[in-house]
Structures are given as C-alpha cells and as structure tokens.
Amino acid sequence: MFVGTGRFRLYAAVAAGSFRRFATYRIATVAGVFTNTVFGVILTYTYIALWDEKPGLGGYDQAQALTYVWLGQALLTTVAVMGGGFEDELMARIRTGDVAIDLYRPADLQAWWLAGDVGRAAFQCLARGAVPMAFGALCFQLALPGDVLTWLAATLAVLLGVVVSFALRFLVALSAFWLLDGAGVSQVAWLASTFFSGMLLPLNVFPGALGEIARALPWSALIQVPADVFLGKHQGMDLLATYAFQAGWAAVLLTAGRLLQAVATRRVVVQGG
Amino acid sequence: MDTALNPDPDRDPDPDPDADFIALDGIEKVFDVRKKTGFLRRERHQVRAVDGITFRVPRGEMVGYIGPNGAGKSTTIKMLTGILTPSGGRLRVAGIDPARERTRLARRIGVVFGQRTTLWWDLPLIDSYRLMHRMYRIPDRRYAENLDRCVQLLDLGELLDVPVRQLSLGQRMRGDIAAALLHDPEVLYLDEPTIGLDVVSKAKVRTFLRDLNAESGTTVLLTTHDLTDIEQLCKRVMVIDHGRLMYDGPLAGLHEVGESERTLVVDLERELPPLEVESARVVKVEGPRQWLAFPAAASAAPLVAAVAARYPLVDLSVREPDIEAVIAKMYADRATS
Amino acid sequence: MAELLRHEKGQAGDLAGPGRLADGVPDRPLDRARDGLRAYRMIAAMWIRSTMAYRASFAMTAFGNLAATALDFVAILLMFSQVDALGGYRLPEVAFLYGASSTAFGLADLAIGSMDRLGRRVRDGTLDTLLVRPAPVLAQVAADRFALRRLGRVTQGLLILGFALLALDVTWTPLKVLLIPLMLVSGAAIFMSVFIAGAAFQFLAQDASEVQNAFTYGGNTLLQYPPSVFGKDLVRGATFLVPIAFVNWLPGLYVLGRPYPLDLPSWAAFTPPLVAVACCALAGLAWRAGLRSYRSTGS
C-alpha cells in the first residue's frame, strides 16, 4: 500500500510536470486556439448546409450537430486525433537507444508515458478546448448540457478517450523498435484515427455497414463516444455500457502495448542496450 | 583599457584597404528584450549587447575574439557577416557594408558555426561540396584545387562518400571548415571551432587553420572558450565583455593581466575560517569549501602538502585559469589600480 | 587560397554580365529573381536526393500523402451518401470546386510547403546559416525540406478535378476551357503568397506556425465547398480580406454558370492572375519587413 501511494505520487508528479511543460508554449497555444476556431466556423457552415438538407441526420438536430463540431475542435488536440503527443519523443528515444535508460528506471515505461500524456491532455483540454467551445457557443446555437452530471459524465468519457488514444499511440511508438523509419506507421495511424474517430464527420452519418464497423472500432472512443455522452445520448445503463466499451478497448490495447513492450525489452536486453 | 585601439574617428577618409580590411567604428547593437514579470505581463527594456566597439583587423591577420557567454561575441560576428544590422556605428569588411550588401559580401567570406552544421545530414559529404561549387559559382578548376587541398590537409579523403550523419563531431567540424573555404573566402569567421572536439581533432583543426593563415593569407577571426586555441593560433587577442572591448593586444599581455593564477578548491571536514597558507590566498569560502589562488607557474604539490598537513581535508581539485577567470582578474586588477 | 582569389579577381570580368556587378552578384530585381530560382532548384534537388536515401519510405509516404489529403473528399462523399445537394450544389459541382482548390493548394504546398518551419529555424538559430550564403534567403527557405511526396495532394486534386470535368453538365466555351489552367496556376500563386506571408509573420511570433494553418489548410477546406454554404460575412472576408476566393470560387462559379453570392461584376471571374500578382507582391513586402525585423532584433 505504501509502495502504491508512492507510485501514485510519482505518476501524479509526471502528469503535473507534463501539464506545466505544455503550459509554457503560450504563443503556440494561442495560435492553436485561433486555428481550431477558424476550422470550427468553416465546419459549422458545412454542417448547417448538411442538416438543412436533411434535418435529424444521424439522430442529431442542427444544434446538436453544431455542438458536435465545436466539441470535435475542442477534443482534437486533447485526445490527439492527429498525433503530436508523446509518441514522437518516445520514437526518438527508441531510435537513439535512450529508451534503455527508461527501461531500467524504477517506474513502469507505459505508466510513465501515460501519466505524461494525461497531463498534456488536461492542459490542452483546458487551454485549447475551452476557448473555441466558448466561441462556438457565443456565435452559434449549441445544445450544451444543462446539468452538471452530464458535464461530469462527459469528462469521464473524455478521460477514457485519452487513455484509448494513448494506448493506440503507444503501439505506434513501439513499432520504432522494429522499423527504422516510423513515418509510414505514423501516417497510417493518423489516417485511421482521423477517419474512424468521428473527426471527419459524425460516425452516425456514415452509411450502413461502414457506420456499424466504425462505431465498433477503438477510435470511436476518441470523439464520437465523448460527444454522444456530452449530448446526453447515453443515459443510465446505456452510459455504463458506453464506459465499458471505452474501458474495454483501453484494457485490450494497453495489454497489447505491455506485451509488445515485453518483447521489445527482451530485444534491448539481448542487444545489450 | 588603455591598451585598446582607439583610432581617431576623423582620420583619413581614404584608408589603406589592407590595413583596414575589417574596420569597426563605435559599433553598437541594442536589443529590445521583453522580460516575463507575470503570466501575461512583460516588461520591456533595452540590452546593449554590443556597446561601442572599435577595432581594425588588417588583411591576413589571425585574431582571437574572446569573452564570457553573452558578452556580445556572437552578436559582433553576426554584424560582421551581415546577419544583423548594427544599431549604430560604422562597419566595413573588405570595403563592403555587410548589412547593406549581405549577398555580395557572402561570396568573399566563409563562416563556420561551431554547433550548427551547414552540411547535408543524409547525403555524402561530397554532395554538400558540390552544392557549394554551384551556389558560389566557383570555377571548376579552382573548386577542384581547393577541394584537393582541403581533403589532403583536413584528412577528409575517406569521408567524402560517407553520409554526414555518420560522421563524428570532429570529422563533421573538419567537413564544415572545408565547406567554408571552397570559394576562396578572404575572411574566415569561426564561432567556437573546437567546441566538443576530442584532443586529436582539436589539434588537426588548429594545425590546418595555422597553415591556412600562413600560406594563403586568409584573415581569420575566431571566437572560442578554449584559451589553448588562442595560445596556439593567434598573436593578437581581443577580449569583449558586456559589449565592450576590454583588451586588444598580444596574448602575452593578456597573460600578464589575467592568467597569472590557478585555483585550488579544497573541501574540508567542517567549516573553518579562511585557511592560512604561504604562497596562496583564499579568494572564496562557501561552507566547508574554500578556493585558494596561487601563481600559475608554481607547482600545486607543495601547496597541497601544506594544506593537508595543517587542515582536515576531504577532497581537492585544481582549476586551470579559463577565460571567465582571466576576465574576472582583469576587473579585479582594474579596480585596485 | 586568398592569393588565388586575388588573382581570380583580376579576371572576374568573365563573371560579369548584363545587370551584374563585377563580382557576379545580381543587381537588378529580375536577376535577383533568377538567382533565387537557381538557388531554389539546387536546394530542392539536394532535398530530393536526401529523401531518395530512404526509397521505400518515400513510396509509402507519397501514397500516404495522397490518401491523407483525399480524406476531405471522402467526407464530402459521405455527406452525399445522405443528401443529393449541398448549398444547392450537386456532387460533380462540389467535386469541381474541391479538385480545383486541392490542386492549386497542392502545387503551392509542393513548392514552398515547408515555409512554416521558419519559426523553428529562427528559434534554433539555423536561419543564420542561410543568411551567410550568396543567395536570396526567401529562395533558400522556400526550398527547405522540399518533398516530392507532396505530389500526392496534387495527384488526388487532379484526379477529382478530372472526375468532375467528366461528370459536369456544362456547355464549354473556349473562354471556360482557358479559365481552368489559369485558375490552377493563379490559385497556386495565391496560396503561395499566403505561405510566404505566414512565414513572414513567424519572424515576429516564432511559435505561431499554426496561425498560418488556419489560412492555408483552413482556406483550402473553405474553398472545397460552394460559397452558398457559408455566411455572407465569411464570403466577404475570403473575397476582400484574404482573397482566396479568387483561387477557385470566382473563376469556378463562372465555369459552372452559377451566380457569386456577392455583387461582383462578371469579369471578376477573370481577375485571378491579377489578384495573384498583387498577393505575391504584398507577401514579398511582408517577407522583406519580417527579414528586416529579424536582422535588427536577432530573434
């Protein structure tokens, strides 16, 4: 138990450090907020055109569809749909061999980077998420939840989304143990998560079987699921099932990462670091 | 310093082009710096990075330009190469105003940035040289001759077909120096050319620079942290601090002013009043650690023996004088004289 | 070597040509431009050689670039799987606008897409190494990290434009046919001026590379949809403030025979080349101002 709290404190410190590190990029953050807002405005108009044409598309009314747009902009960097979190750094450490140092650290490699990524996500949610969301709410008619519980429920869904996103990117980063150049893998990962997260268009709007498949894949946990929780689409037992969906993918992917890490570690040890 | 050159500003308007090959008259560079004072608050204030520097370097001279970090060395070099525009004063290199005719000057100077390679990372070394050949429009014969010579003297033969990323730091520095010389520059600026290099590489670089200066008459201005660079290469040295020229003269003179003492750092078992030993004086006390200055020419052994005999020693080390120490000493001497 | 050089200077006359000073440095703006293009070509060639060191990775990233940039069109296809028209435009018409904008943007991105790295070069000091070369800095920065894989975006843009041209129900006139290549070239130039202006801004704010994404990638996204989709103010901004509407909206709507939402004379459809020249001139001025500020502040 003592060890447990010590560990927890360590990871909390890692997360806090990561939060502060991202907080130092002030101008970059302001620039990012600006860009998110511009994209939000452009997408808003295309969604208005789409929902004008077909009201109730995907089970959303227009206000809900626009809320989806701004939530997507707010979550884009939070759940790192297009990457850009820790994975570039980890891949660089794997390539230079510095990862050997990480492996001999008393902390767990995966948990260490997860803590850092959660810190990053927390900062980006607050700094890059809040302002575009507020702008959208001021300029357009959005369907924001009226009760605190829904906000809390959505926060939990976002957190689970961050963990799923991390688990996916951890797998991508570990590929650097085997591949000299990770650009290809990163690009495929980028494509898959942009398309299947619901960033491009709500997965509810995807036609037929494509929609079914997209909604079952782990990437839907990044944007689609948190957005639906935020819009109050999941209530009661359904909400629990939704969390279970996200947590299930998180568990599967984190375990896969752990197995891959074990294989990779053996490799590093065999090669002598 | 009274040794600093101080030419009459109203001198002959048509100066000797070789004697005034590099000519600075009251050069200044003032930066606006915004300092953080809160989450979003910033305070603006001005920093005089270079504060009225005047000197001449005749054609063919090799000069050391030294000073502590942030003294204004790099800023001066950037003005000499035309990267930065001076805030005040008059500046000519080979008769050209660098700030106004940067690209014209670029053909006549070579620059080596110690920590930033200009070579192409993923390509064999020779590819970078071919680019220089074309970019500087070097005549074919001249390029071939210069390359041959650099390859020979800098020992690059085996490295030409190796991708730059696979070169060691020392090999890369040699490669960078060659790249800066292929177009026959009249002036070569070297910013920390030996930083991070091993002893062998340092020696190779120094030998090459000495030969280059002696044989081709290339004017060389080098900044460094390593006093040995200066000792082995430059007859003349300029010391800059806080944007001002503190010393300009032969290296020997600098030795007289500054490099006269080494420091013995002793860790004692407990805090003690300043130690009393002959032939050394305590210059600093910090808890159980004390700094003792002693003449650079003297051996440290008798001093160590004397300290060990009388005081409870835990650890000790000897510090060689570095540029920072030399400059600190210069200040101290000036204050007392 | 300097001795040799002095000897060389005696015969420097053979380097001197019209508009050149005795030591071969361009004097007139036109010669400067030619010198810039020459430097650009040389540096771009070096980058191509660099990427070819990793041939397999190049093939994969080129295809990846095509797939990634086509995602926007996949979104449009998904929309049209649910509806028949968007803002009153049918799929071939939207595809036409999309293809034109993507191709123009792709060409600009291919040519000078890495200019958004300028802030990083300022921060780590490597910009200085470009400033001591005898070539225009703009050309050197523009050629930085030149990457042929960006042909992926151009390719998908052209493919979709080709599809649109086949599927469109338009009565073609010689003028409309002529307008298509004119639109692509002018559009590329307009986007390039946005890249250059964005880079110039980074001299002031080195971490603000994302701001220019709003205008480059954001602008491209905007132009992929018909102007009837957007609010009048947004269209006004894109026409008069940051005139990217001249990339494809104005000439494209003329080809499609559609009215432009703003009250503009019909000949405005043929002004993109003029707008492009004006934009490039302004961007050039911004660049010069940015570079001047860098050279006086050093950051």
Give the pLDDT band (50/70/90) at residue B2: very low
The size of the B-C interface in CB pairs under 8 A is: 109
Question: For residue A29, is pLDDT > 90?
Answer: yes
pLDDT at C14: 38
pLDDT digits (tens, 9 = 90+) for C265-299: 999 999 999 999 999 999 999 999 999 999 987 65
Residues of chain B with C-beta less than 8 angstroms from the C-beta of C291 = none
Give the pLDDT band (50/70/90) at residue B1: very low
For residues C241-252, average pLDDT: 97
**pTM of this structure:** 0.86
Among C196, C191, C194, which residue's Cα sits nearest to residue C137?
C196
Cβ of residue A141 closer than 8 Å to a chain C Cβ: no
Does any domain span residue C5?
no
Q: With contact defined as beta carbons under 8 Å apart, do A53 and A157 qualify?
A: no
**Higher pLDDT, residue B311 or C237:** C237
pLDDT digits (tens, 9 = 90+) for A123-151: 999 999 999 999 999 999 999 999 999 99
Q: Residue C125 is nearest to which of B116, B122, B136, comparing CB atoms?
A: B116
Does any domain span residue C10?
no
Q: Residue C135 is nearest to which of B101, B135, B181, comparing CB atoms?
A: B135
Question: For residue A2, is pLDDT > 80?
Answer: no
pLDDT at B301: 84
CA distance A73 to chain C (A): 13
Exposure string over A173-205, b if 16+ CB within 10 A, otherwise e: bbbbbeeebbbbbbbebbbebbbbbbbbbbbbb
pLDDT digits (tens, 9 = 90+) for A50-91: 999 999 999 999 999 999 999 999 999 999 998 877 888 888
Dist. CA C291–CA C137, nearest whole Å: 9
pLDDT at C102: 97
Does any domain span residue C270?
yes
Does any domain span residue C9?
no
Dist. CA A31–CA A37, nearest whole Å: 10
Exposure string over B123-137, b if 16+ CB within 10 A, otherwise e: bbbbbbbbbbbebbe
Does any domain span residue C4?
no
- The rounded mean pLDDT for chain A is 91
C23: how many CB neighbours lie within 10 A of its CB? 15
Does any domain span residue C181?
yes
Dist. CA A164–CA A154, nearest whole Å: 15
CA distance C90 to chain A (A): 12
pLDDT digits (tens, 9 = 90+) for C1-36: 433 333 333 333 333 334 444 444 556 788 888 999
Q: With contact defined as beta carbons under 8 Å apart, do B52 and B25 qualify?
A: no
pLDDT at B14: 53
Give the pLDDT band (50/70/90) at residue A192: very high
Q: How far is CA A108 from CA A11, A20, A44, A172, C69, in A?
A: 10, 22, 43, 18, 37
The size of the A-C interface in CB pairs under 8 A is: 105
pLDDT at A59: 94
Does any domain span residue C119?
yes
Chain C residues with a Cβ under 8 Å from any Cβ in chain B: 1-5, 8, 15, 21, 23-25, 39, 42-43, 46, 49-50, 53-54, 124-126, 128-129, 131-136, 292, 295-299
A233 CB burial (10 A radius; 0-12, 13-18, 19+) = middle
CB contact (8 A) between residue C3 and residue B216: yes
Does any domain span residue C206?
yes
User: What value of ipTM does the predicted structure carry?
Assistant: 0.90
Least confident of A161-165, B93-97, C20-24, C42-46: C20-24
CB contact (8 A) between residue C78 and residue A28: no
Q: How far is CA A32 from CA A36, A115, C209, in A?
A: 6, 23, 9
Is the Cα torsion angle A100, A102, A105, A110 positive or negative in sign?
Answer: negative
Domains identified in chain C, total number: 1
Q: Give the nearest chain B residue to C26 (CA atoms).
A: B104
CA distance C208 to chain B (A): 16
Dist. CA B138–CA A37, nearest whole Å: 51
Pairing of strands B62-66, B236-241: parallel
Interface mutation target, options C1, C34, C296, chain B, most CBs of B under 10 Å: C1
Domains identified in chain A, total number: 1
Dist. CA B133–CA B117, nearest whole Å: 17
pLDDT digits (tens, 9 = 90+) for C216-241: 999 999 999 999 999 999 999 999 99
pLDDT digits (tens, 9 = 90+) for A12-24: 999 999 999 999 8
Least confident of A27-36, B248-257, C258-267: B248-257
Pairing of strands B42-57, B22-36: antiparallel
Question: For residue B17, is pLDDT > 90?
Answer: no
Q: Which residues contact A22 (CB under 8 A, 6 or more apart)?
A: A29, A119, A120, A123, A124, A127
**Higher pLDDT, residue A181 or A189:** A189
pLDDT at B320: 66
Q: Residue C295 is nearest to which of B83, B116, B186, comparing CB atoms?
A: B83
Domain of residue C114 covers 15-297
- The rounded mean pLDDT for chain B is 85
pLDDT at B258: 53
pLDDT digits (tens, 9 = 90+) for C49-76: 988 877 777 888 888 889 989 999 999 9
> Would you state the structure tokens that stand for residue C126, as one six-digit string?
């490597």
pLDDT at B287: 85
For residues B18-29, average pLDDT: 92
pLDDT at B8: 47
Interface mutation target, options B47, B115, B122, chain C, most CBs of C under 10 Å: B122
pLDDT at C7: 38
Give the pLDDT band (50/70/90) at residue B68: confident
